[in-house]
């Protein structure tokens, strides 16, 4: 097959850090253009919005929508209705219904929709899922604590309604958990909102784990120093699994397992090319549903105002 001509919509941090280098390395793609209100990519045809892109007559097959989540649905819908395959950065939308609408639209149009979950491509995740298959679980603990000032300097949208706040990284943990664990259900959630923000800075959640014991997650954006992205699973037969550093390291019963190097976005673009070639839909909403459930059941606690010198 000839390479997929790809347009990127929303040129920001993740596009520069990951999308561009991985598209350039992948012979199954060629970059056909970019759409962004202010930012540009050198040596690439750039447009301020989708209307300008379509008016230009630029030929392309697919688009990666890498904007903040609040505007993802409208842009993705316009692209699908114009007959383009769509790659969605995570989270795939600001609400679950938006993603379901996109999946239905893609289906109706015979197009591919790929809701990407980059953390699921971390090298420890599939070996962990394999090891856990059929085991009875005793306890699960997720601790995902990082420094928002380091990872999102000056980003306004993460603090607006629909920006998800601490669930922006927390959903990465939930994308792994929904891949490796049996179904789980939010039972209690404490969400801490800074007094000057519309989205939470921390969330502590208790779940009921289908057929298993207690499960909890601790998401916090105030951690300075070493960062923590860990999932611990204790099983009833005594074995224990630990995925750390965001799924890049795996330990089983205290022994490190060799899981190979990290190539999350390389794997995402391989998967997108497979999905397009097979004419498939890959749009798992479960991580976003877990976030929505935490907001539905969550108790709102106001905490001190958040200041970021870069904002």
CB of 58 to ligand NAP, least distance (A): 15
Separation of alpha carbons 45 and 56, rounded Å: 10
14 versus 281: smaller Cβ distance to ligand NAP: 14
Cβ-contact 240, 252 below 8 angstroms: yes
Q: How many helices (H) and strands (E) does the chain have?
A: 10, 16
Name 112's bridge partners. Answer: none
Separation of alpha carbons 45 and 248, rounded Å: 36
Q: What is the 3-state secondary structure (H, E, C) of 193-232?
A: EECCCCCCCEEEEEEEECCCCEEEEEEECECCCCCEEEEE
Query: Does 121 engage in binding with ligand NAP (CB under 6 A)?
Result: no
Residue selected from 11, 137, 202, 268 as contacting ligand NAP according to rule CB under 6 A: 11
138 versus 263: smaller Cβ distance to ligand NAP: 263
Name the one range near ligand NAP by CB under 6 A: 36-44, 122-130, 186-194, 290-298.
Answer: 36-44
CB of 67 to ligand NAP, least distance (A): 4
Query: Does 9 engage in binding with ligand NAP (CB under 6 A)?
Result: yes
Please work out the total of residues on this chain that contact ligand NAP, with binding judged by CB under 6 A. Answer: 22
Catalytic-role residue among 13, 25, 90, 133:
90
14 versus 252: smaller Cβ distance to ligand NAP: 14
Active site residue 133: no
The answer to whether the peptide bond before residue 40 is cis (omega within 30 degrees of 0) is no
For residue 134, count other CB atoms closer than 10 A to its CB.
5
Residue selected from 22, 36, 121, 175 as contacting ligand NAP according to rule CB under 6 A: 36
Residue selected from 61, 146, 168, 230 as contacting ligand NAP according to rule CB under 6 A: 168
Sequence-distant (≥ 6) Cβ neighbours of residue 167 within 8 angstroms: 91, 199, 200, 203, 219, 291, 294
Separation of alpha carbons 231 and 215, rounded Å: 10
Residue number of the CB closest to ligand NAP reads 12
The SS3 of residue 13 is helix
Name the token pair of 1: 């097959």
The SS3 of residue 276 is helix
Name the one range near ligand NAP by CB under 6 A: 69-77, 207-215, 232-240, 296-304.
Answer: 69-77
Name the one range near ligand NAP by CB under 6 A: 3-11, 22-30, 178-186, 296-304.
Answer: 3-11
CB of 306 to ligand NAP, least distance (A): 17
Residue selected from 73, 84, 85, 118 as contacting ligand NAP according to rule CB under 6 A: 118
Active site residues: 90
Interface with ligand NAP (CB under 6 A): 9-14, 35-39, 66-69, 71, 75, 89-90, 118, 155, 168
């Amino acid at each position: 097959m000839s390479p997929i001509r790809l347009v990127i919509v929303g040129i920001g941090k993740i596009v520069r850090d990951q999308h561009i280098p991985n598209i350039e390395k992948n012979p199954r793609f060629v970059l056909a253009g970019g759409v962004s209100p202010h930012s540009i990519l050198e040596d690439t045809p750039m447009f301020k919005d989708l209307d300008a892109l379509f008016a230009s007559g630029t030929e392309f097959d697919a688009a990666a929508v890498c904007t903040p989540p609040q505007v993802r649905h409208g842009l993705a819908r316009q692209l699908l209705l114009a007959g383009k395959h769509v790659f969605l950065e995570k989270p795939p939308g600001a609400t679950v219904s938006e993603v379901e609408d996109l999946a239905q639209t893609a289906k109706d149009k015979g197009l591919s929709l790929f809701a990407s979950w980059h953390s699921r491509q971390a090298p420890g995740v599939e070996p962990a899922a394999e090891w856990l298959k059929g085991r009875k679980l005793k306890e699960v603990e997720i601790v995902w604590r990082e420094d928002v000032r380091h990872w999102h300097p000056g980003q306004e949208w993460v603090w607006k309604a629909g920006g998800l706040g601490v669930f922006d990284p927390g959903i990465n943990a939930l994308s792994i958990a929904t891949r490796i664990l049996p179904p789980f259900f939010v039972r209690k959630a404490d969400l801490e909102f800074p007094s000057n923000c519309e989205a939470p800075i921390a969330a502590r959640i208790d779940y009921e784990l289908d057929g298993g014991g207690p499960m909890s997650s601790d998401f916090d954006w105030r951690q300075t120093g070493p960062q923590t992205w860990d999932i611990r699973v204790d099983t009833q037969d005594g074995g224990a699994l630990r995925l750390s550093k965001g799924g890049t390291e795996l330990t089983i019963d205290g022994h490190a397992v060799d899981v190979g190097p990290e190539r999350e976005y390389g794997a995402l673009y391989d998967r997108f090319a497979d999905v397009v070639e097979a004419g498939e839909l890959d749009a798992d909403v479960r991580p976003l549903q877990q976030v929505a459930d935490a907001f539905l059941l969550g108790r709102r606690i106001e905490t001190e105002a958040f200041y970021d010198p870069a904002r």
